[in-house]
Structure 1
């Protein structure tokens, strides 16, 4: 990065009140930094932001430099660090009296927590930010900040399934931005239209949904996550219309953006629709490939959310440059730890190669334990299970968030308990192998509605309905393979049909995702284990 560019960046920071006329100041700084610096040299840009923090004398200047670092880490896709720097900026807010920057820090944190799945914490920062924004003197900046914060509230209501409320907040957002400033806010206004498209898609009003998607598309000139969601939304409408040709066109555009994007939510949404497209045209092989991609995106999103559910405090936040000696020690310790881990991994895999059969025996025993305690609805694998999930809420907020959602849906605790009992009975049978199994099908069988059932499965079974059913199916067929030798003689397609999968390939991909073995390899190891130990006794399912 050239010296002249560093000087320019420094001037942007120190002259924020003068430069921030078109957009609120920090956004303008981040945009220029992103265009001129980030794509070429993120580490150098971060050093610059760090040096600005060191030279800052006033608390407000420190807040600005910390938020700049947070935005840079956001651009790099490092959400954990971006939140750490954002929280550091938040810790200094008690020392400043600037409504604009108070609301801006809250708006940034509400966005980041939404992106990592902590929706209740995101809502908390959004509501606080709206209150601070009301005190901004500059009317244009006030409208822009309120526009972004109302957009965050719409995201939250969407997540809760409160679609009328989401529409209301998006209307507030669009009114705040105003028609006179569309050129200055094209991307965020396009995001509002894209959210409206999603809302009306959920409400099955596809004509209105497509109209909003097209409005969003008309405002976006370059590839971005919002444009990917727009293409995916239109592709989803074409799938509902069974217009396979147009669906393929839009979904290819969406995939092109998703593959190069850091957004796991975009990848998950796009791969799910493409899987449905290939299922619709009968190409089961390609459908299975995208089913695996969907599972990987789902698991990555879950893993990222898990990082933020642990309790955090000020001591865990990054303190830039104030304790450089401690940071250096930590870095050196981390390097040593990494080397030790690498050595350990090498040793582990060498031992693993020599003891493959012993490992497989342990896998079988672990799976039997999982099967015998199916009522806990845990996946087969004990670590890094492909179909596992956790609450995306913070540990401290989890209970009250669940109570709120139950109250919103008017479901009593007695109803929730009864549904859990019915699910326990469902798991003990084999109805989940029915090829017509779906959320609506299961809700009808349990004499309840889909909203209640989806809530209970997500809250108590740690999965969405599709993952929950697939988990039960794989548990079922593994139990049969272990306890009934005749099943090992069946063709894979017969096993797939036995547990309700629509194709050989889809069954094989999901089976491998759960067990780390293909069905044929799994059967081979079972046969080998049976020959080497005739006295092994496998318990039947409960």
Structure 2
């Protein structure tokens, strides 16, 4: 989920902004630096107050480095608020200045974009951004910055393995940072390091190890960050509450979760509130407290709807900015080719002028002059053709390209051959990201080729999945409807029963009874 992606991010941003970035603000003084520090510190605890500071800082900014520094802090503020639309806006404002800033800020822009891509499950873009940082790292001469980039790349790689539930590989990767233990401590990154280990061991169901690293992460966080990052605090609460839940200590888990909900107060981060309310509801269910379970589950479902809408909007915004970025890159290349053409034309003009002077002064060289001019005209034509070729491949966005449509259809077939559709987290935005497209294209193609909207498409896959299980694995006939609902990806017993009946025409209990009798008769 998105929280598992963003909860570590804020902790290592301050390190580069304060220690690796070259002097910020062209007329920088102590007050300017205090304002930068204060804005970043408040970003993850009091984001709305931090925004007031960044508005003031933007008015004072005069260089590309100044502006990018503020845009990155704005991006962190919006990460803290769970507003990935505005996060993308801030990052791509910074990206427009990427060729005008120092190497550390350049890397930080790409890292932020990689984080956003991973958060929104735009994994192809994530890989592209990581590759860019690796190139920057190899070219970097500053040893401190090079170490920092290596540490952060490893954090990203380990988090990606955790997102993919490859916990063993995540441990292997994070352990490669042992050589940087001093840098990690000096950079106040220990809590990030320990949190990654805690998540990975929890995924491996090594709960004692996980609990040890959550405690180490908590101690490092309090020591280095003085309770100023609600994302990290939420990660610690959710992680340790999960461990309590696994031990069936529901009361201890609820105590942590409800206290943290109060601490969040009027937080705007729907992602955090969705997770916390979901965990509270589950623990009340463990205590068989149906009244409180229903109360917090209703809150969870409300936030879940908001998260779905926010995620869909953010994915579309990110794709729009990515397309804009690609268009600018193409325009830059085209301008470079034009410059070559104009240079050739200028050279042609000068040579022609010089040739004419020679022509009038020495007619004997006329034949040679024509050969030179002819050669240059051929060269110029090749350059013009090269520019035209670049123009001819500019993408048209009036309709879905045939190749794109075929790629999406192939991707859908591959998707249907997996069981990813049984994930409760599956959404139009999530699937679009996995297929490396946008939600509008995906929705249109599902409507066109399946005569269904996205929800109907997913629900049919889930119902067909559970029917196959019932037919081929008889033990499923004895499972409760609530288990079948969860197994196939539905959020509740009732929604599963409603959808099942709408597709098959009969209730799941009736279907199971009929199927059980049929199997019994065949055996008899």
Question: TM > 0.5 between the two?
Answer: yes
Mapped to 2, the partners of 1:124 and 1:27 lie a distance apart of 33
Instruction: Report what 1:191 is aligned to.
Output: 192
Q: CA deviation at 1:195?
A: 2.5
Distance change (3 Å), C-alpha of 1:259 and 1:36: closer
Q: Which runs of 5+ in 2 are unaligned?
A: 1-16, 26-31, 326-415, 417-423, 439-459, 513-524
Mapped to 2, the partners of 1:162 and 1:275 lie a distance apart of 28
CA contact (8 A) 1:225 1:258 kept: no
Q: Kindly indicate whether residue 511 of structure 2 is the aligned counterpart of residue 471 of structure 1.
A: no
For this pair of structures, how many residues does the alignment match?
359
Equivalent of residue 247 in structure 1, options 253, 256, 278: 253
Distance change (3 Å), C-alpha of 1:265 and 1:149: farther
Instruction: Report what 1:286 is aligned to.
Output: 292
Instruction: Report what 1:112 is aligned to.
Output: 116
Equivalent of residue 435 in structure 1, options 480, 488, 493: 480
Equivalent of residue 83 in structure 1, options 70, 88, 94: 88
CA contact (8 A) 2:485 2:496 kept: no
CA contact (8 A) 2:155 2:174 kept: yes
Q: Kindly indicate whether residue 315 of structure 2 is the aligned counterpart of residue 297 of structure 1.
A: no
Mapped to 2, the partners of 1:136 and 1:200 lie a distance apart of 34
Mapped to 2, the partners of 1:387 and 1:116 lie a distance apart of 12
Q: CA deviation at 1:134?
A: 3.6
Range with bigger deviation, 136-145 or 155-164: 136-145
CA contact (8 A) 1:433 1:473 kept: no
Distance change (3 Å), C-alpha of 1:92 and 1:273: same
Distance change (3 Å), C-alpha of 1:32 and 1:394: farther
CA contact (8 A) 2:274 2:303 kept: yes
**Aligned residue runs from structure 1 range 339-354, under 5 A:** none
Query: Residue by residue, what CA displacement relative to the aligned partner does 1:179-214 show, whole Å, maximum 9, x if unpaired?
Result: 3552541xx431332222222112111111111111
Instruction: Report what 1:332 is aligned to.
Output: none
**Aligned residue runs from structure 1 range 464-503, under 5 A:** 465-467=489-491, 471-476=495-500
Mapped to 1, the partners of 2:276 and 2:511 lie a distance apart of 27
Distance change (3 Å), C-alpha of 1:387 and 1:275: same
More helix by share: 2
CA contact (8 A) 2:490 2:496 kept: no
Mapped to 1, the partners of 2:500 and 2:257 lie a distance apart of 34
Equivalent of residue 155 in structure 1, options 142, 154, 159: 159
Secondary structure of the residue that 1:392 maps to in structure 2?
Answer: helix
Q: CA deviation at 1:306?
A: 0.6
CA contact (8 A) 2:74 2:90 kept: yes
Query: Looking at both structures, which has the greater relative contact order when contacts are Cα pairs under 8 Å and sequence separation is at least 6?
Result: 2
Query: Residue by residue, what CA displacement relative to the aligned partner does 1:139-172 show, whole Å, maximum 9, x if unpaired?
Result: 2333233322321222222111221222233334
CA contact (8 A) 2:114 2:126 kept: yes
Instruction: Report what 1:236 is aligned to.
Output: 242
Distance change (3 Å), C-alpha of 1:115 and 1:143: same
Mapped to 2, the partners of 1:165 and 1:254 lie a distance apart of 31
Query: Residue by residue, what CA displacement relative to the aligned partner does 1:424-472 show, whole Å, maximum 9, x if unpaired?
Result: 2745989799526547995xxxxxxxxxxxxxx7xxxxxxx24386532
CA contact (8 A) 2:198 2:212 kept: yes
Secondary structure of the residue that 2:22 maps to in structure 1?
Answer: helix
Range with bigger deviation, 303-312 or 429-438: 429-438
Instruction: Report what 1:424 is aligned to.
Output: 464
